Amino acid sequence: MELQFTAEQEAFRQRVQHFAETEVRDAIPRMEADGEYSFPAGLVARMGQLGLMGIPVPTELGGAGADFISYIAAIQQLSRVSAAVGVIVSVHTTVATLPIMKHGTKEQREQFVRKLASGQWLGAFALTEPNAGSDAASIRTSAKYEGGCYVLNGTKMFITNAGAAQLYLTFAVTDPERGTRGITAFLVDSGTSGLRIGRKERKMGLHGSNTCELSFDNAHVPEARRLGAEGEGFAIAMGALDGGRIGIAAQALGIAEAALQLLEEGLLKRTAAGSGGGRVRRAAELAELDELSARVEAARLLVYRAAYLYQRGNACTKEASTAKLFASDTAVEASGAAVRLLGREGYSSCYPAQRLFRDAKVTQIYEGTNEIHRIVIGNHLLRS
Ligand code: CAA
């Protein structure tokens, strides 16, 4: 059993860390600028040049040809600096590009994966609807087959990357009588007439990452843009989310590590300045730091165990849910402790702790709320 990166994975991780610490860090003030919530288009283009928009995609299809573990390490490193950039890459890669790699025809892979993996196009995943979030099977967006095309009608919401993306992996009902087996996946490009990008959400965190509503009003999608067979959409979505949730778990791990580092540095600085607040308070803070450090280490092991299984092609639904559940709770806990214990450097918006806290919260909510992950894990335990 090996619990360390190969030399190649470590070299890649260091390259991404350097990029995150320089170019991504420089972009944070623009992403956080009051009321702007500006999408970092230049940074995304740059990540395309560096091969970061197609990390686990073979070079023949325009990707970097690295493995899934390297990809997860990259999401972790990007998210240590900016969770917004982490989620842009995670959604684009695991729930938009990889499902096309897995389920697409040769033509679809050639046509779409190449553009996505090279960063020429950005991908999004359109499943959630105003009345269908946790219960993904109850989506209402319909797709009716008419003369070589599917005609889509309905509304999607909370769609990450929307507005900036050129490709929307969209799920719609082709047969309402068949429940989860009546849902089909479609590759909808942003130029499709009848597709409208709606209101951009103003969010407490993840400024820089776009989240919009989408509406389909008689949007005609050619039959050749159907991904998989009719009725396979739900299984395609759930399979994509297995990988996606490992990406979000890595994002949460990055946030938790950054918060822990801030806490360590802040408490050290306070001790050196002799303003530690007394022996008892210092002992309590050290105990909390120890506890958090153990949780972060455990989250790291869960994230990489899930990534390892995914990379080997093993079933990993339960492990992905476990990693996402634990890492996201750890991110909220660690960033909350940073806000609480670092005084002015915790609560003031001039310092990064409060941004980590705001960004961490959503990792408990998207790609399945943690309540859903407890159900997924529980169902697997009762089945085994
Ligand atoms: N892989 C492949 N197939 C799967 C699967 C998986 N991981 N999980 C389930 N399926 C298949 C089942 O085998 C079953 O197939 P059959 O009909 O052939 O037997 C079918 O899907 C239905 O399975 P369930 O009965 O388990 O489905 P359910 O209706 O009970 O739903 C659920 C289960 C887990 C609660 C699901 O609704 C769910 O995951 N909800 C959360 C939705 C979610 O995560 N949304 C994320 C939106 S995207 C996002 O957040 C991106 C972002 O912005 C960052």
Tens digits of per-residue pLDDT, 219-236?
Answer: 999 999 999 999 999 999
Tell me what percent of the residues of the chain surpass a pLDDT of 90.
90
Judging by beta carbons within 10 Å of its beta carbon (0-12, 13-18, 19+), is residue 256 exposed, middle or buried? buried
Residue 6, pLDDT above cutoff 90: yes
Contact between residue 226 and residue 150 where contact means Cβ atoms under 8 Å apart:
yes
Note the pLDDT of residue 307.
98
Of the candidates 319, 333, 345, 367, the residue annotated as catalytic is: 367
Give me the mean pLDDT over the 115-119 stretch.
Answer: 97
Q: Report the alpha-carbon distance of residue 329 to residue 324 in Å, rounded.
A: 8
Confidence of residue 33 (pLDDT cuts 50, 70, 90): confident
Nearest CA owner, ligand 1 atom 24? 180
Q: Is the CB of 128 under 6 A from ligand 1?
A: yes
Q: Report the alpha-carbon distance of residue 141 to residue 215 in Å, rounded.
A: 9
Cα distances (angstroms) measured from residue 164 to each of 17, 34, 62, 121, 209: 25, 20, 20, 9, 10
Half-sphere exposure of 36 (CA within 13 A, CB side): 11
Nearest CA owner, ligand 1 atom 21? 235
Q: Report the alpha-carbon distance of residue 309 to residue 246 in Å, rounded.
A: 11
Contact between residue 28 and residue 20 where contact means Cβ atoms under 8 Å apart:
no
Residue 34, pLDDT above cutoff 70: no
In the reported structure, the alpha carbon of residue 240 is separated from the centroid of ligand 1 by a whole-number distance in angstroms of 10
Note the pLDDT of residue 317.
97
DSSP-based three-state secondary structure for 262: helix
Helix (H), strand (E), coil (C) string for 100-146: HHHHCCHHHHHHHHHHHHCCCCCEEEECCECCECCCHHHCCCEEEEE
Contacts of 43-51 with C-beta under 8 Å, sequence gap 24+, read 43/85, 44/88, 44/119, 44/122, 44/164, 45/119, 47/19, 47/89, 47/119, 48/118, 48/119, 48/120, 49/119, 50/19
The mean pLDDT of the chain is 95
Note the pLDDT of residue 282.
80
Give 278-311 pLDDT, tens digit per residue: 777 788 888 899 999 999 999 999 999 999 999 9
Q: Is residue 2 among the annotated active site residues?
A: no
Cα 362 from chain centroid (whole Å): 10
Q: Is the CB of 127 under 6 A from ligand 1?
A: yes
In the reported structure, the alpha carbon of residue 137 is separated from the centroid of ligand 1 by a whole-number distance in angstroms of 7
Q: Is the CB of 242 under 6 A from ligand 1?
A: yes
Q: What number of other Cβ atoms are within 10 A of residue 35's Cβ?
A: 7
pTM across the whole model = 0.96
Token match 């303003």: residue?
Answer: 275
Tell me what percent of the residues of the chain surpass a pLDDT of 70.
98
Contact between residue 74 and residue 13 where contact means Cβ atoms under 8 Å apart:
yes
Of 37-46, 49-58, 92-101, least confident by mean pLDDT is 37-46
In the reported structure, the alpha carbon of residue 271 is separated from the centroid of ligand 1 by a whole-number distance in angstroms of 49
Give 197-219 pLDDT, tens digit per residue: 998 999 999 999 999 999 999 99
Mutate to test the pocket of ligand 1, among 93, 180, 324 (most ligand atoms within 8 A of CB): 180
Give 123-157 pLDDT, tens digit per residue: 999 999 999 999 999 999 999 999 999 999 999 99
Contact between residue 116 and residue 92 where contact means Cβ atoms under 8 Å apart:
yes
Of 302-311, 325-334, 343-352, least confident by mean pLDDT is 343-352
Confidence of residue 11 (pLDDT cuts 50, 70, 90): very high
Residue 383, pLDDT above cutoff 90: no
Note the pLDDT of residue 36.
65
Nearest CA owner, ligand 1 atom 3? 235
Confidence of residue 360 (pLDDT cuts 50, 70, 90): very high
Cα 253 from chain centroid (whole Å): 12
Nearest CA owner, ligand 1 atom 11? 235
Give me the mean pLDDT over the 230-248 stretch.
Answer: 98
Number of helices (H), then strands (E), in the chain? 14, 8
Token match 């938790």: residue?
Answer: 256
Note the pLDDT of residue 136.
96
Half-sphere exposure of 25 (CA within 13 A, CB side): 12
Q: What number of other Cβ atoms are within 10 A of residue 189's Cβ?
A: 16
Q: Is the CB of 152 under 6 A from ligand 1?
A: no
Residue 55, pLDDT above cutoff 70: yes
DSSP-based three-state secondary structure for 39: coil
